[in-house]
Amino acid sequence: MKDRLPLKLNPDQPLVMGILNVTPDSFSDGGQFNAAKAAIIHADLMIKNGAKLIDVGGESTRPGAVEVDAEEELKRVIPVLEQLRELPVVLSIDSYKARVAKQACELGVQVVNDVWGLQRDAAMADVVADAEAHVVMMHNRLEVDPDIDIVSDVKRGFEASIAKADRAGIPKEKQILDPGFGFGKTLEQNYRVLACFEEFQSFERPLLVGASRKSMIGRVLNNEPEERLAGSLAVHSLALQKGADIVRAHDVKEHVEICEIIAAYRKWGQSN
């Protein structure tokens, strides 16, 4: 296997992570790319449109989705990863299962995107550390609670995830935090997290934002997932202005363009 491109994070230049769901039931694009050939074609298009990372997922994590076991998840993602590793892009595996992450990293995946922030599978932190991979540690909740202080809850979740990553020996610079829009949060709580996004910079880790086509947009605009590009750009632009380093998105070209505008703003728009 040839050497993979390194993941280079630059606070002055946000990156776009393209979403590649090889699932039959994801909320936005389920069934579109679950054949390996279609997935590779779509990944190639995202790369041409400027994606620096491709996040491959073999299990839908939308509310109400049916869980799949590691064996089924591997059947979905391994054929795609085996071909994607030849493309000029950083690869990410969207999984909370250590077994899936381990086999993906053995194929050259450099980022493990864990929607449970290393807190679901006890072996995950060690798998990431052994692979010398980056990890996206997302905040999540088993149940929605409209009465809690959601920003404080996100911070506590980050603290717990960081503690696990530190104990396993994952370097600080390879720990990426994601506040988890749409996961275990009410509509109002999602926007509260967005409003306070800059507070997460205190953890001194790269920040990822991923609200692409989610219901926090659809419920405000009363539209379907495929109609949520403008809303996705709006939410992500706000998060970028508040310090996001990576944007996880379905619509890569448009998000690359807003990242370029944000980069120009960070370079020239700040007062001296």
Distances (CA, A) of 235 to 35, 152, 242, 262: 31, 21, 11, 13
Distances in Å between the Cα of 202 and the Cα atoms of 152, 155, 218 are 13, 10, 30
Whole-number pLDDT of residue 69: 93
Q: How confident is the model at residue 272 (pLDDT cuts 50, 70, 90)?
A: low
At 63, is the pLDDT very low, low, confident or very high (cuts 50, 70, 90)?
A: low
- Mean pLDDT over each residue of the chain, to the nearest integer: 93
Q: Which residues have a catalytic role annotated?
A: 214, 248
pLDDT, one tens digit per residue, over 189-207 is: 999 999 999 999 999 999 9
Domain architecture of the chain: domains with CATH: 15-268 (3.20.20.20)
- pLDDT tens-digit readout, 134-185: 999 999 999 999 999 999 999 999 999 999 999 999 999 999 999 999 999 9
pTM of the model: 0.93
In order of 96, 98, 179, 194, 270, the CA distances from 239 in angstroms are 24, 30, 11, 6, 17
Closest by CA to 177, choosing from 165, 169, 167, is 165
> What pLDDT is recorded for position 36?
80
What pLDDT score does 23 carry? 84
Residue 33's pLDDT is what?
47
CA angle 151, 94, 180 (to 5 degrees): 10
Res 25 pLDDT > 90: no
251: left (phi over 0), alpha (psi -120 to 50) or beta: beta
Quick one: pLDDT at residue 242?
97
| Residue 6 clears pLDDT 90, i.e. is over it | no
Say whether pLDDT at 1 is over 50. Answer: no
**Complete DSSP assignment for 83-116:** HHTTSSSEEEEE-S-HHHHHHHHHTT--EEEETT
pLDDT at 2: 47
- How far is Cα 255 from Cα 135, in angstroms, rounded to an integer? 22
| Distance, CA of 215 to CA of 225 (rounded, Å) | 8
Res. 188: pLDDT tops 50: yes
